[in-house]
Structure 1
Amino acid sequence: MRKVIASIFISVDGVFEDPSWSMPFWNEEASEFAGKQLAAADALLLGRVTYEGMAPAWTARAEGADAGTERMNAMPKYVATRTLDTPEWNATFLTGDLASEVAELKRQDGGDLLVYGSGQLVNSLLAHGLLDELRLWTLPVVQGKGRKLFGEDSPVTTLRPIGTTTFGSGAQVHAYAPAATSA
């Protein structure tokens, strides 16, 4: 059975939109952590907006690519969308009942399904009990404006901390799993 793992850059004030502001905190430690995370996955699970941003950026890096870029471009992508109709970048569109389709993907054998960004998707996965781990790459910066990962309509979800990794840049990855519910 596969696990769904969301890995999201977030500012201390909760902004996750367009994390180009994260680059000053990217270093060899972060790169190694991200590489191991990608190696544990055998597919990406993305929301439409994240897919539309990532596909052209990663395919443009294909020429003379390093092993991580080659892996990213080659692996399958499952994209939650109701508006796109021409899959590219090794994508399969999930256009039906998202909870059922993701539950079916989780039942399959294989590595992790890795989610980058994709705020609406992450909130939906939480609401349906389909997210196994949330890794918040908390960066020591206040953005002040931009889309927040969690809003007033986010599902109430109790999480339990399962680990923190701190990088020399000041960035930290806080890992959480859904807390077990008592009967």
Structure 2
Amino acid sequence: MGKITVSMYLSLDGIMEEPGVWHFPYWDDEMANFQRDVSYANDALLLGRVTYEGFAAAWPKMKDEGADRMNALPKYVATTTLEEPQWNASFIKNNIIEEVTKLKRETDQRYLIYGSGQLIRTLMGHNLIDDYHFMVHPVVLGKGKRLFLEQDQRGLKLVGAKTTTKGVAILSYQPSE
């Protein structure tokens, strides 16, 4: 059976929006190594439309060590508006819950979600996420899109924790039974 992993940058107050604005002062080799390990532990990306469009515009132009991996990974994109898949993508245009359940049931692949807060909340509400990796940055933003909303209440079990030298807490969770 397939597995779904979430990897997300968060502020201390739970904001996920526009990490490019606040995340880079905390980027270091420890985070790069963690992100590389997460990327190589997965077989495909599962993305929402907004994240896909941003990634598809940026990654093909990049030349850093992770670009080849990001560009090569198959991408499954939840969208009702996009028409022409590009950047090694397949679109999930119908019932996202049915389609993702089918992906998990019919393959042994590991699917990685970056960003895509709405997709995460939707899949989490149907118990389809197996692992969460949160990189909690030592910054309070005060406003912006939060990953979790009031209706998203649920328990998670901590399965790993590490702090980088720049103060980012890398927390790994699984759904609690």
Q: Would you say same fold, with TM above 0.5?
A: yes
Alignment partners' CA distance in 1, 2:164 and 2:111: 24
Question: Equivalent residue for 1:96?
Answer: 94
Q: Which runs of 5+ in 2 are unaligned?
A: none
CA contact (8 A) 1:44 1:115 kept: yes
Q: 1:1-183, aligned counterparts within 5 Å?
A: 1-20=1-20, 21-61=22-62, 65-152=63-150, 154-180=151-177
Taking structure 1 as the reference length, the TM-score comes to 0.92
User: Number of aligned pairs?
Assistant: 176
Taking structure 2 as the reference length, the TM-score comes to 0.95
| Secondary structure class of the residue paired with 1:30 | helix
The AA in structure 2 aligned to 1:26 is W
The AA in structure 1 aligned to 2:72 is A
CA contact (8 A) 1:6 1:115 kept: yes
Structure 1 residue ranges (4+ consecutive) displaced by more than 6 angstroms after TM superposition: none
After TM superposition, give the deviation of residue 155 of structure 1 in Å: 2.8
Alignment partners' CA distance in 1, 2:149 and 2:174: 19
Deviations 1:30-57 (A, max 9, x none): 1011101100111000011111111111
CA contact (8 A) 1:126 1:157 kept: no
After TM superposition, give the deviation of residue 14 of structure 1 in Å: 0.9
The AA in structure 1 aligned to 2:8 is I
CA contact (8 A) 1:42 1:110 kept: no
After TM superposition, give the deviation of residue 156 of structure 1 in Å: 2.5
CA contact (8 A) 1:140 1:170 kept: yes
After TM superposition, give the deviation of residue 169 of structure 1 in Å: 1.0
Alignment partners' CA distance in 1, 2:110 and 2:129: 11
Deviations 1:48-89 (A, max 9, x none): 11111111110111xxx3442101101100011111111111
Alignment partners' CA distance in 2, 1:110 and 1:35: 21
The AA in structure 2 aligned to 1:58 is W
Comparing 103-112 with 8-17, greater Cα deviation is found at 103-112
Give RMSD over aligned pairs.
1.2
The AA in structure 2 aligned to 1:9 is Y
| Secondary structure class of the residue paired with 1:41 | coil
Alignment partners' CA distance in 2, 1:108 and 1:138: 33
After TM superposition, give the deviation of residue 159 of structure 1 in Å: 1.1
